[in-house]
């Protein structure tokens, strides 16, 4: 083999190696692979039942844990992928980020994990428990069920600084589109997944600027006057910012399409929700999802499966935590 040909082959190999390394570095934000329905069918056949029973018990005690767990799963997946890193507690972890301080339902996940460790030690990941619990939370609020692919492993990194770019209450449609695109979710999946706000709540501090300090006047003129008066009563100008309000007025505990109908009537509580109606890029999608022949439930299930596979760790990556709040 000539020297020139040997050098060319070596350069080709280095180029391939660089591409491979780059691919590994950027893989986490994308849709994961390696999960499958029934992953624990032989290693822990009662896994889904144990999780479902734990979530049901928590829900019967406090129905508001359902939106809390759904939101927790969402926030987990948007930060380094669905790896259960939101469950790790401690100083400067994701839990301490401003957007996560009001998350609820950690005790439900911990309860499920304790039972699973007793039944199948070291088998079921915390990331999978959270994905299953999110599905069960939707079912308990009269939403659709779906098969959850499992096989995720748990991440070891949880930093508050990584949670600074989560979708926010004041985001425009363009900003929301970019954040969803960053994890390879479409605009339609954005509108469908945000429909989870049908059972959601927010603290007064997340939207009080719309009630009193709008840049267009004393209050945001896009808010329905009846809703405005109601929200001003619930959230006085100098009142407690942590008081929580339903995001789907009149149907806040049922998983349905009422959320989209409210947007069409100017009754979106968060700015980021109401702009889905005012922006021409998303309004047609909202109109389809609020129609009598809406496919919202089926689309939500598909979008949840897609989201739950963002940047998952599988195989030899990550770990199976013995306790969800701490790395092994």
Q: Is 32 contained in some domain? A: no
The whole domain housing 163 covers 46-200+247-308
* 167 annotated as ligand-binding: yes
Q: Is 241 contained in some domain? A: no
Question: For residue 20, what are the CA distances in angstroms to 6, 25, 65, 315?
Answer: 21, 9, 42, 18
pTM of the model: 0.89
* 94 annotated as ligand-binding: yes
Q: Is 93 contained in some domain? A: yes
Q: Is 297 contained in some domain? A: yes
Q: Is 314 contained in some domain? A: no
| Residues 286/263, Cβ–Cβ less than 8 Å | yes
Burial of 279: CB neighbours in 10 Å, binned 0-12, 13-18, 19+: middle
Taking residues 276-289, report their average pLDDT: 98
Helix boundaries (H) for 243-318: 258-264, 271-278, 283-289, 296-307
**pLDDT tens-place string over residues 227-265:** 999 999 999 999 999 999 999 999 999 999 999 999 999
List b or e across 17-32, with b for residues whose CB sees 16 or more CB atoms inside 10 angstroms: eeeeeeeeeeebebbb
Q: What is the pLDDT of residue 70?
A: 98
Average model confidence (pLDDT) across the chain: 90
Joined together, the tokens standing for residue 72 give 């927790």
**Distance (Å, whole) CA 80 – CA 77:** 7
Joined together, the tokens standing for residue 231 give 């929200």
| Residues 132/48, Cβ–Cβ less than 8 Å | yes
Q: Is 315 contained in some domain? A: no
Place of tokens 């199976």: 320
Output the domain CATH number for residue 180.
1.10.520.10
Q: Is 225 contained in some domain? A: no
Statement: residue 217 has pLDDT above 80: no
Statement: residue 17 has pLDDT above 70: no
Among 22-31, 64-73, 118-127, 280-289, the least confident range? 22-31
Statement: residue 11 has pLDDT above 50: no
* 248 annotated as ligand-binding: yes
Question: For residue 102, what are the CA distances in angstroms to 17, 62, 137, 157?
Answer: 44, 15, 18, 21
Question: For residue 275, what are the CA distances in angstroms to 79, 120, 223, 228, 268?
Answer: 24, 46, 11, 16, 9
Q: What is the pLDDT of residue 15?
A: 36
* 85 annotated as ligand-binding: yes
Supply the residues annotated as catalytic.
Answer: 75
Joined together, the tokens standing for residue 42 give 């032989």
* 191 annotated as ligand-binding: no
Place of tokens 């508001």: 64
Joined together, the tokens standing for residue 107 give 């005790």
| 25 phi, psi to nearest 5 deg | -70, -30
pLDDT band of residue 22 (cuts 50, 70, 90) is very low
Q: Is 13 contained in some domain? A: no
Nearest alpha carbon to residue 202 among 131, 238, 252, 148: 252
* 76 annotated as ligand-binding: yes
- Write the Ramachandran bin of 166: left for phi over 0, alpha for psi from -120 to 50, otherwise beta: beta
Q: What is the pLDDT of residue 34?
A: 87
The number of folded domains in the chain is 1
């Amino acid at each position: 083999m000539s020297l020139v040909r040997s050098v060319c082959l070596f350069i080709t190999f280095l180029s391939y190696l660089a591409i491979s390394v780059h691919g590994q570095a950027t893989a986490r934000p994308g849709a994961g692979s390696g999960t499958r329905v029934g992953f624990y069918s032989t290693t822990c056949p009662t896994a889904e039942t144990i999780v479902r029973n734990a979530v049901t018990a928590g829900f019967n005690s406090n129905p508001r844990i359902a939106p809390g767990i759904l939101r927790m799963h969402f926030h987990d997946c948007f930060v380094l992928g669905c790896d259960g890193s939101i469950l790790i507690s401690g100083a400067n972890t994701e839990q301490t980020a401003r957007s996560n301080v009001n998350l609820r339902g950690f005790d439900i996940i911990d309860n499920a994990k304790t039972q699973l460790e007793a039944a199948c030690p070291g088998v079921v990941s915390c990331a999978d428990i959270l994905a299953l619990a999110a599905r069960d939370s939707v079912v308990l609020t009269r939403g659709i069920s779906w098969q959850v692919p499992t096989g995720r492993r748990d991440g070891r990194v949880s930093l508050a600084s990584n949670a600074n770019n989560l979708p926010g209450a004041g985001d425009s449609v363009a900003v929301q589109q970019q954040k969803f695109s960053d994890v390879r979710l479409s605009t339609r999946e954005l509108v469908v997944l945000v429909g989870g706000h049908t059972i959601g709540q927010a603290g007064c501090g997340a939207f009080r600027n719309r009630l009193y300090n709008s840049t267009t006047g004393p209050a945001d003129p896009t808010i329905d006057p009846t809703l405005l008066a109601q929200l001003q009563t619930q959230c006085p100008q100098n009142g407690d910012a942590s008081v929580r309000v339903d995001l789907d007025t009149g149907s806040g505990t049922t998983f349905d399409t009422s959320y989209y109908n409210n947007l069409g009537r100017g009754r979106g509580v968060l700015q980021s929700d109401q702009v889905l109606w005012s922006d021409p890029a998303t309004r047609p999608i909202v109109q389809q999802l609020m129609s009598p022949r809406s496919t919202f439930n089926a689309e939500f299930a598909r979008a949840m499966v897609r989201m739950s596979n963002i940047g998952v760790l599988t195989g030899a990556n990550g770990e199976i935590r013995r306790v969800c709040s701490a790395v092994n």
